[in-house]
Amino acid sequence: MPASRVEDFLELVERARRGRLKLYLGFAAGVGKTFRMLEEAHALQVRGVDVVVAFVETHGRIETERLVDGLEVIPRRRIDYRGVTLEEMDIAAVIARAPAIAIVDEIPHTNVPGSEHRKRWQDVIDLLDRGINVIGAMNVQHLESLGGLLERETGVLVRETVPDTFLRRADQIVNLDLAVEDLQERLRAGKIYPADKVPWALEHFFQMNNLTTLRELALREVAESLDRSATATSAAAAPEKGHRGERVMVAMSSNPPHGMTLLRRGSRMAGRLNTDWFVVYVETPDEDALRISAEAQRVLLANLDKARELGAEVVRLQSRDPVTALLDFARSHGVGHVIVGRSTRARWKRPFSRSLIERLIDDAEGLDVHVTALEEST
């Protein structure tokens, strides 16, 4: 482990009042995220830093297992679920131990029901809020905003996701890059999965095209994180400029087809601009609580909950004229980008009709309006 990288993170830790987050980001299993985290843990321990392993999954890899030796490991919490005993990170034990730095692997993981939080990334946020620094690892395909793109490009559906706002919490991101051919060779050599799983992996997730796409996304994500850091530094030096004119607003209807497409677009744009974003729903007289259907109400609440999880500020307005309400809110809250969905369904079913979108574009002087096509579900 290069000394400079360890010292860079140590400098952040020493200056911090809140917990600092360092992420090892990869594009696939086997690029060395866990190995490098454990190497860094040993390097920190040599320097006298109080570091513990809060959760690490070695997947039976001998070289990785050897690196756990000599480190303090917080015992896992055992939870009985449907007759099976499962193990999770014991966040209460980590908090009670209060180390300077905790090592947390597989951040996108979904916790067993009965855990303190539903997702491991929420465990990490809890640790950071309590002043415990975290070094963690995840793969780029688990970013929420990339879900639709990855499914289109690779055919891979990723079910466990992490909101982009979590990535923006990271003070350091280290991209573990590896040539695709080298990664496939590691797979064939049995260094990633057991031998009986290798042929299936090479025919599915570990195809050349899939890995190339994921590698490019990881490289781009790290480059954008560096841009965000530079922008944040500039804003801190000149706070009067800020980012108010670049805030993002997603206009959400009660029951849009593919509402997640809009939310991912908003999350992605806000991340690239390193700014705040809003999800705004305008309730018209035709959509009050007594008139809206139970199904539309369920979908609306689900979309708004997901928006909050992705880091948006959710706003509900009431108005007879949704266009005026949206534009008034945008101008009063420093919004520069408005994202709206246009369905390809029959006009009477559309979340925003053509006339409403035309009005929005015509009246949105000084604002950029992004119209996203929403295909009807089949």
The answer to whether residues 229 and 248 belong to one domain is no
Q: What CATH code is carried by the domain that includes residue 69?
A: 3.40.50.300
List the beta bridge partners of residue 79: 86
- 75-98: per-residue pLDDT in tens? 999 999 888 999 999 999 999 999
Angstrom distances, CA of residue 356 to CA of 273, 334, 351: 27, 22, 10
- Position 222 in a domain: yes
Task: Give the residue with greater pLDDT, 288 vs 53.
Answer: 53
Which residue would you say has higher pLDDT here, 322 or 290? Answer: 322
| AA identity, residue 50 | D
Same domain, 106 and 226: yes
What is the mean predicted confidence (pLDDT) over 102-117? Answer: 94
Q: Report pTM.
A: 0.68
| Same domain flag for 220 and 258 | no
In a domain, 70, yes or no: yes
Do 73 and 212 lie in one domain? The reply is yes
Asked whether residue 128 falls in the same domain as residue 260, the answer is no
Q: Identify the domain boundary among 234, 253, 272.
A: 234
Number of domains in the chain: 2
Residue in this structure with the two tokens 């990881």, named with its chain if needed: 218
Residue 288 lies in a domain: yes
Q: Are residues 184 and 271 in the same domain?
A: no
In a domain, 239, yes or no: no
Please check whether residues 277 and 369 belong to one and the same domain: yes
- Specify whether 195 is located in the same domain as 83: yes
Residue 120 domain-assigned (yes or no): yes
What DSSP line would sit under 167-209, residue for residue? HHH-SEEEE----HHHHHHHHHTTSSS-GGGHHHHHHTTT-HH
**CB 128 within 8 Å of CB 16:** no
Q: Rounded to whole angstroms, how far apart are CA atoms 136 and 130?
A: 16
End position of a domain, from candidates 177, 204, 234: 234
The pLDDT value recorded for residue 48 is 95
The residue segments making up the domain with residue 364 are 244-374
Same domain, 290 and 369: yes
Most confident of the ranges 154-163, 223-232, 252-261 = 154-163
Task: Examine the fold and report which residue of 234, 269, 303 is the final residue of a domain before the chain moves on.
Answer: 234
DSSP label at residue 143: B
Bridge partners (DSSP) of residue 101 are 51, 133
Same domain for 336 and 367: yes
- Give the Cα separation of 302 and 97 in Å (integer): 37
Q: What is the CA radius of gyration of the chain?
A: 23
Average pLDDT over every residue of 146-169: 80
Contact yes or no for 296/251 (Cβ under 8 A): no
Of residues 111 and 223, more confidently modeled: 111
Domain containing 267 — which CATH number? 3.40.50.620
Contact in structure between 38 and 64 (CB atoms under 8 Å): yes
Residue 64 has pLDDT above 80, yes or no: yes
Same domain, 77 and 149: yes
Q: Are residues 208 and 271 in the same domain?
A: no
